[in-house]
Structure 1
Amino acid sequence: MHIDLSGKQALVTGATAGIGLAIATGLARAGAQVTIVGRDQAKLDQAQAAIAQASGRDDVRGIQADAGTTEGCQAVIEQQPEADILINNLGIYGACPFFEINDAAWEEIFQVNVMSGVRLARHYAKGMQARSWGRIQFISSESALNIPSEMVHYGVSKAALQGVSRGLAKVLAGSGVTVNTILPGPTRTEGAQAMMAEMGKERGVTAEQMETLFLAENRPSTLLKRFATPEEVANLCIYAASPQASATTGAALRVEGGIVESIA
């Protein structure tokens, strides 16, 4: 299968590292003009250079903005008024006992993980609908189906994305615009590696050994038996953004290594 996204404009939030960077790189390699969004200009510059080198393209754009805020989303929209492919990847996470998650933490995680995608989709979907073609993805998590006790607020925010995605797919039914959620499992991103290193330090093991322990203790149902790479997650996203995926919409697409105990 050859995926050709030539002539398409793609916007990826949270794209200076990890899954977002891998998705942006894959889209650029497939021929899309890619714009990435991040808060740190130095990281944006590094990510743009990395994508350009990997794809051979010289039209990668970067927008410095905090898409987790109303003002940041507006800044993104003003600098990139239209997009054919929207990847709502921006998200935050962190372990915290339920009884210590205060209102501010709940509000923050909803603003970043849910409302950022709502605000951008609300804008870009209109243009996609008018052009009768578009792809919108919300990067969710297996935690949406398997709410982790160590970060309930994170799981709930990702479950909310499932509802937003399914509802928007219904709003755009028959328009040529598809809307899907992508559900990664534990993925070897920079953030995850740092967390494993910190947890491993506390237990006197390496980050690699901690990954194995983490899966055994927290995700024992994994069939992959390892952390995925960002590129493995991105591969599914690139397909879902392609013309070939025209009949896939309103779906929760899992790339979580078989953690979820369901065949549906």
Structure 2
Amino acid sequence: MTVTIDLAGRTALVTGSTQGIGAAIATGLARAGARVAVNGRTAATVKRAADALRTDVPGADVVEIDADVASDEGAARTLELLPTVDILINNLGIFGPTPALEISDDEWRRYFEVNVLAGVRLTRAYLPAMIQRGWGRVQYIASDSAVAIPAEMIHYGVSKTALLGVSRGFAKTAAGTGVTVNSVLAGPTHTEGIEDFVSDLVGEGVPWDHAQREFMRLHRPQSLLQRLIEPEEIANMVTYLASPLASATTGAAVRVDGGYVDAIVP
């Protein structure tokens, strides 16, 4: 049996997709035939990412959305440039370590504005038309930190926990309509800057394959994969969930965490 993911004729918006996991997701969806909107805060970064996508996927139909979707103004601009989507990937997110007792109210609010409300706002805008058409896909890129709250950045972890509830709630809103809503729990991932971070902890000059395994063994021992996840591996799951093949998966928290979360469910 051959498994083919065909998203031809579908339009997808991937927020925060100028680099890292978001860029990999945009590429995966484009390879499956979708028209893909690349999003970032500045026109220059969006153009650079869009041009890279067109190079990676010749003939790709790419839309450039330079807007800060974490703001009311940015969301409004996005809707103006792209009034309708079939696939909404809420990937935008921020993270950073801060001692728990030093996280200010303003910082808590910022994390919820960016990591939670940006996706809620766009879902609220795009979901009704999906329901009316009888087909659509909404996904939230969460994290293993949603379940295994990191002591060094609980504001990040809690914001990702909120996404699990948000996606489950919107899935109930779309029940029986042909629209699915899911969250994806991404584990420790090989994104920009991580190699320098790993070298600082493991030591410079160590071959990358060995360095990342040592990093995982010493600093992320919960991982069963024992290596960093590549962004494309997360994109593979997102692309599948965006396809007709995943029509029976909704209201779920799907793990691409390399076994990091020590639990059977989710």
Question: TM bucket by the smaller chain?
Answer: over 0.9
Alignment of structure 1 residues 1-264 onto 2, 5 Å: 1-193=3-195, 195-196=197-198, 199-200=200-201, 204-205=203-204, 208=208, 211-264=212-265
Equivalent residue letter for 2:91: N
Residues 183 and 255, structure 1, Cα contact 8 Å, conserved in 2: yes
SS at match of 2:240: helix
Equivalent residue letter for 1:31: G
CA deviation profile, 1:130-183 (whole Å, cap 9, x unmatched): 100000000000000100001100000000000000000011100100000001
SS at match of 1:19: helix
Equivalent residue letter for 1:254: R
> Mean Cα displacement is larger for which, 126-135 or 98-107?
98-107
SS at match of 2:47: helix
SS at match of 2:138: strand
SS at match of 1:107: helix
Partners in 1 of 2:144 and 2:97 — Cα distance? 15
Equivalent residue letter for 1:107: R
Partners in 2 of 1:182 and 1:119 — Cα distance? 19
- The sequence identity of aligned pairs, in percent, is 52
Q: CA deviation at 1:216?
A: 3.1
SS at match of 2:249: coil
Q: CA deviation at 1:186?
A: 0.6
Question: Compared with structure 1, are the counterparts of its residues 8 and 146 closer, same or farther at alpha carbon in structure 2 (3 Å cutoff)?
Answer: same
Equivalent residue letter for 2:217: A
SS at match of 2:73: helix
The runs of 5 or more residues in structure 1 that have no matched partner are none
TM-score by length of 1: 0.94
Question: Compared with structure 1, are the counterparts of its residues 252 and 44 closer, same or farther at alpha carbon in structure 2 (3 Å cutoff)?
Answer: same
Residues 53 and 60, structure 2, Cα contact 8 Å, conserved in 1: no
TM-score by length of 2: 0.93
Q: CA deviation at 1:59?
A: 2.3
Partners in 2 of 1:56 and 1:77 — Cα distance? 27
Equivalent residue letter for 1:22: A
Residues 40 and 68, structure 2, Cα contact 8 Å, conserved in 1: yes
Q: CA deviation at 1:43?
A: 1.7
Over the aligned positions, Cα root-mean-square deviation in angstroms equals 1.6
Partners in 2 of 1:103 and 1:214 — Cα distance? 33
> Mean Cα displacement is larger for which, 188-197 or 56-65?
188-197
Q: CA deviation at 1:217?
A: 4.1
> Mean Cα displacement is larger for which, 213-222 or 232-241?
213-222
Residues 28 and 57, structure 1, Cα contact 8 Å, conserved in 2: no
Question: Compared with structure 1, are the counterparts of its residues 84 and 95 closer, same or farther at alpha carbon in structure 2 (3 Å cutoff)?
Answer: same
SS at match of 1:150: coil
Partners in 2 of 1:55 and 1:251 — Cα distance? 30
Partners in 1 of 2:134 and 2:261 — Cα distance? 34
Residues 34 and 61, structure 2, Cα contact 8 Å, conserved in 1: no
SS at match of 1:140: strand
